[in-house]
């Protein structure tokens, strides 16, 4: 089989992995080497589904001994199977990297023969890149659940980011759909990686040239919509993952029907759900929200019409309006429509002069949502009257495709921002 055919099969098998980020690593080029990591991450192209391509995302092989019901590579599925050699992966990566097609390599694999054997194959390909070609670009590798600790350590010393997929949001779903994987097998490498990263950081404080272990941290991924968990349980799980394993990212992958198991839904869940989860994920990591604030037992799922931050703000309207010139940073960050960058701008600028609405406009701070929730020097935006029953339909009509037409207070949210959200970055 020629390399092009192999690339097609093994890319096709890898494409459902959501992660394709190349950020957080500060690996520098060495004398005589090629490549360095850009800390902010760089997107090299965007595919027709709107997702960024920054890494060469391939599987080592799609021969698999496991039979996970939701996975396209399960052994009971009748598809073409093949495997790369370590040399082919290394050559492909270097060839693409020199042409500036990619930022690095994302190597994952189905489980061939045994977890340990698969890990050894992955390590051999990455060793060629790092030691023979002196490649210092970004490498993200998947850890195979059930592989020995020693192999996880060897891999961690070669790559920038490691990840173990948690696959499904609860243990019950996991035992139903991926009977050969256990929670213990997934959690124990995550714990090991966390420990090694902390240890390596401490060593680097003492010894300048101490080997760095996965400098860009670890991440994980779960499939949503294949099992009946609510948004609330997913977000609570996410928060505990961030807290207990110091994860850099949790990725959500909306289930796409590839299996024929009776336990699986036959239709794909809406992509909007995935989008809402990512929005909430950001609120947890950068905005100081707690998962219990976002959703409770009365409303266990996010709204289709408005984003999680607005949903929270409308539930807590007694905290608003917020005075832009006085409120502390943490409070400004919680205003819908104001992000980390805008909040920082406000904090910096108001040290030198009182800010008015026209100042905010000049600072390019979006007023689309924020205007319902703020005051400047005691004034509301165009002296608007802030009440929940007024704000909700106003915001919905803003989000619709109606543009700048007359805003009606009593219209049903016909189009909602469904379309808008679908076109956003995933």
> Per rule CB under 8 A, is residue 348 in the interface with other proteins?
yes
- Widest pairwise Cα distance in the chain: 72
> Per rule CB under 8 A, is residue 3 in the interface with other proteins?
yes
> Per rule CB under 8 A, is residue 237 in the interface with other proteins?
no
Nearest distance from C-beta of residue 97 to other proteins, angstroms: 9
Binding span for other proteins by CB under 8 A among 107-115, 205-213, 342-350, 403-411:
342-350
Output 51 or 194, the one with its CB closest to other proteins: 51
> Per rule CB under 8 A, is residue 7 in the interface with other proteins?
yes
Q: In three state form, how does the secondary structure of the chain look?
A: CCHHHHHHHHHHHHCCCCCCCCCCCCCCCCCCCECCCCCCCCCCEECCCCCEECEEEEECECCCCCCCCCCCCCCCCCCCCCECCHHHHHHHHHHHHHCCCCCEEEEECCCCCCHHHHHHHHHHHHHHHHHHCCECCEEEEECCCCCCHHHHHHHHCCCCEEECCCECCCHHHHHHHCCCCCHHHHHHHHHHHHHHHHHHHHHHHHCCCCCCCCCCCEEEEEEECCCCCCHHHHHHHHHHHHHHHCCCEEEEEECCCCCCCCCCCCCCCCHHHHHHHHHHHHHHHHCCCCHHHHCCCCCCCCCCCCCHHHHHHHHCHHHCCEECCCCCHHHHCCCCCCCHHHHHHHHHHCCCCCCCHHHHHHCCCCCCCHHHCEEECCEEHHHCCCCHHHHHHHHHHHHCCCCCCCCCCCCCCCCCCHHHHHCCCC
Among 352, 385, 404, 410, binds other proteins (CB under 8 A): 352
> Per rule CB under 8 A, is residue 92 in the interface with other proteins?
yes
> Per rule CB under 8 A, is residue 268 in the interface with other proteins?
yes
Binding span for other proteins by CB under 8 A among 52-60, 184-192, 201-209, 231-239:
52-60
Nearest distance from C-beta of residue 359 to other proteins, angstroms: 4
> Per rule CB under 8 A, is residue 32 in the interface with other proteins?
yes
> Per rule CB under 8 A, is residue 203 in the interface with other proteins?
no
Among 317, 319, 349, 386, binds other proteins (CB under 8 A): 349
Output 36 or 380, the one with its CB closest to other proteins: 36
Which residues in the 99-128 window bind other proteins by CB under 8 A?
99-101, 103
Among 125, 310, 355, 399, binds other proteins (CB under 8 A): 355
> Per rule CB under 8 A, is residue 14 in the interface with other proteins?
yes
What would the x/- binding string for other proteins be over residues 242 to 261, using CB under 8 A? ------------x-x-----
Among 12, 120, 203, 398, binds other proteins (CB under 8 A): 12
Binding span for other proteins by CB under 8 A among 26-34, 192-200, 325-333, 375-383:
26-34
Binding span for other proteins by CB under 8 A among 4-12, 109-117, 155-163, 317-325:
4-12
Distance CA 302, CA 375 (A): 27
> Per rule CB under 8 A, is residue 29 in the interface with other proteins?
yes
Among 1, 40, 205, 206, binds other proteins (CB under 8 A): 40
Q: How many residues does the chain have?
A: 426
Short-list 386, 381, 379, CA closest to 368: 381
Cα 390 to the center of its chain, rounded Å: 34
Distance CA 335, CA 97 (A): 42
Output 406 or 423, the one with its CB closest to other proteins: 423
Preceding peptide of 321 cis, ω within 30°:
yes
> Per rule CB under 8 A, is residue 367 in the interface with other proteins?
no
Among 19, 27, 56, 375, binds other proteins (CB under 8 A): 56
Output 352 or 404, the one with its CB closest to other proteins: 352
Positions that interact with other proteins (CB under 8 A): 3-4, 7-8, 11-12, 14-16, 28-29, 31-36, 38, 40, 42-54, 56-57, 92, 95-96, 98-101, 103, 137, 254, 256, 268, 271, 345, 348-349, 351-353, 355, 359-360, 362-364, 422-426
């Amino acid at each position: 089989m020629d390399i092009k055919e192999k690339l097609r099969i093994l890319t096709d098998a890898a494409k459902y992995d959501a992660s394709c980020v190349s950020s957080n690593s500060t690996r520098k080029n060495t004398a005589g080497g090629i490549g360095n990591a850009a800390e902010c991450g760089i997107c090299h192209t965007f595919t027709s589904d709107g997702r960024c391509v920054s890494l060469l995302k391939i599987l080592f092989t799609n021969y698999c001994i496991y039979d996970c019901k939701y996975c396209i590579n399960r052994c009971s599925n009748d598809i073409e199977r093949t495997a790369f050699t370590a040399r082919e992966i290394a050559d492909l990566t270097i060839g693409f990297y020199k042409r500036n097609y990619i930022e690095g390599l994302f190597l994952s694999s189905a489980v061939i023969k045994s977890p340990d054997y698969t890990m050894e194959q992955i390590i051999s390909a990455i060793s060629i890149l790092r030691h023979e070609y002196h490649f210092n670009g970004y490498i993200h590798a998947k850890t195979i659940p059930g592989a020995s600790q020693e192999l996880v350590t060897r891999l961690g010393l070669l790559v920038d980011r490691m990840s173990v997929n948690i696959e499904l949001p609860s243990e019950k779903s996991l035992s139903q759909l991926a009977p050969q994987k256990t929670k213990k097998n997934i959690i124990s490498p995550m714990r090991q990686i966390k420990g090694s990263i902390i240890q390596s950081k401490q060593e680097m404080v003492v010894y300048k040239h101490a080997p760095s272990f996965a400098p860009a941290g670890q991440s994980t991924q779960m499939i949503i919509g294949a099992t009946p968990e609510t948004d609330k349980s997913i977000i609570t799980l996410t928060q505990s993952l961030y807290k207990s394993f110091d994860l850099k990212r949790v990725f959500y992958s909306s289930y796409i029907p590839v299996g024929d198991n009776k336990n699986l839904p036959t239709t794909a869940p809406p992509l909007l759900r995935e989008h809402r989860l990512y929005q909430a994920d950001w609120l947890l990591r950068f905005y100081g929200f707690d998962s219990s604030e976002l959703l409770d037992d009365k409303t266990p799922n996010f709204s289709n019409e408005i984003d999680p931050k607005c949903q929270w703000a409308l539930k807590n309207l007694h905290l608003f309006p917020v005075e832009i010139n006085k409120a502390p940073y943490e409070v400004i960050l919680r205003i819908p429509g104001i992000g980390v960058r805008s909040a920082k701008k406000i904090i910096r600028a108001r040290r030198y002069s009182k800010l008015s609405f026209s100042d905010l406009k000049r600072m390019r701070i979006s007023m689309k949502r924020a205007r319902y929730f703020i005051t400047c020097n005691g004034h509301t935006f165009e002296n608007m009257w802030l009440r929940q029953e007024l704000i909700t339909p106003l915001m919905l009509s803003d989000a619709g495709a109606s543009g700048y037409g007359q805003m009606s207070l009593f219209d049903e949210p016909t189009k909602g921002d469904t379309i808008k959200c679908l076109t956003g970055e995933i």
